[in-house]
Amino acid sequence: FRNEGIDLTHNPEFTTCEFYMAYADVNDLMKITESMISGMVKYMFGGYKVEYHKDGKDKPPLVIDFTPPFRQVDMIGGLEEALNVKFPPAVELHTDATNKFLSDLCAKHSVDCSAPRTNARMLDKLVGEFIEVQAMERPLFITNHPQMMSPLAKYHRSIPGLCERFELFVATKEICNAYTELNDPKVQRERFAQQADDKAAGDDEAQLIDENFCTSLEYGLPPTGGWGLGIERLCMFLTDSQNIKEVILFPAMKPEEGKPAADN
């Protein structure tokens, strides 16, 4: 359950499939995701292409090709290419100087970001405007998120300031999120502290410090990969449904006028 609004692809109550895999990392999870989804499509349709009427059954369909391997785009590198601009080094993406850089970038490209205008929120808006829209005819992995956007993901093994995470987008909609789990209790507390600052500034999506979770990490967590998939959104693409209420088990529906609630 998420206390958020309802639209064609969002519902407060939804179904998610999650797992944690010991001694796995983001690369293992990407292979599993690609194999599972492409294999599912081929089993259901006899091939890798699916017709999806994203704008309604009366409009031409979008043909989505799930042939592996799926395309990958580095988040910061993808923005640099799309916007023809050089971003600050990854280790500086959380700074006040970068906040001004991102604010100027949003203004230049007319990207709206309501308060609080944190670095993470402005980056997310830019990604939605210039990278997520590339996930149309092919599924798209967006990879290597900045640490400030991923408080539970492990830091990147070779690029300081980034973390080992991916999101999978299909027809511009996120259906999967996965990362190498952060298993360092000291770093995890620091990440939570930064999130608490963002929440105090008005970011409702930021997380509070979870002391029980940090304590459990002190006992020891092996290298682990964490994975989550939105079931309803995937079902929408596979059943050519334009509204999430068509595939959700108990959609929020208004009662018909003149009928008792029990009859609806």
Query: Are 8 and 247 within 8 A, CB to CB?
Result: no
R_g over Cα of the chain: 20
Residue spans of beta strands (DSSP E) within the chain: 16-22, 49-52, 62-65, 71-74, 140-143, 165-170, 173-180, 224-230
Q: What is the pLDDT of residues 139-188, one digit of tens each?
A: 999 999 999 999 999 999 999 999 999 999 999 999 999 999 999 999 99
Sheet holding 165-170, edge to edge: 16-22, 224-230, 173-180, 165-170, 140-143, 71-74
Cβ-contact 139, 171 below 8 angstroms: no
Give 16-183+221-248's CATH code, choosing from 1.10.20.140, 1.10.150.120, 3.30.420.40, 3.30.930.10.
Answer: 3.30.930.10
pTM above 0.75, yes or no: yes
How high is the pLDDT of residue 1? 62
What is the distance, to the nearest Å, from the Cα of residue 237 to the centroid of all Cα atoms in its chain?
17
pLDDT at 250: 72
* Residue ranges per structural domain of the chain: 16-183+221-248
Q: Which tens digit of pLDDT belongs to each residue from 180-211? A: 999 999 999 998 988 888 888 888 878 888 89
**Measured distance CA(166)–CA(149) in Å, rounded:** 12
Q: State residue 253's pLDDT score.
A: 66
Q: Which pLDDT score, from 0 to 100, does residue 248 have?
A: 85
Q: Which residues touch 262 (CB under 8 Å, ≥6 apart)? A: none
CA distances, 118 to each of 71, 125, 147 (Å): 29, 11, 13
**Would you state the pLDDT for residue 205?**
78
Q: At what angle do helices 26-45 and 231-239 cross, to 10 degrees?
A: 30
Tokens 């292979």 sit at which residue?
31
Instruction: Please state, in angstroms and as integers, the Cα–Cα distance from residue 210 to each residue in 19, 152, 177, 204, following that order.
Output: 20, 11, 21, 16
Question: What is the predicted pLDDT for the residue at 112?
Answer: 96
| Buried b or exposed e, range 115-131, using 16+ CB within 10 angstroms | ebbbbbbbbbbbbebbb
Query: In percent, how much of the chain has pLDDT > 70?
Result: 95
Mean pLDDT, rounded, for 116-121: 94
Residue 226, number of CB atoms within 10 A of its CB: 21
Please count the CA atoms within 13 angstroms of the CA of 228 that sit on its side-chain side: 9
Helix (H, G, I), strand (E, B) or coil at 56: coil
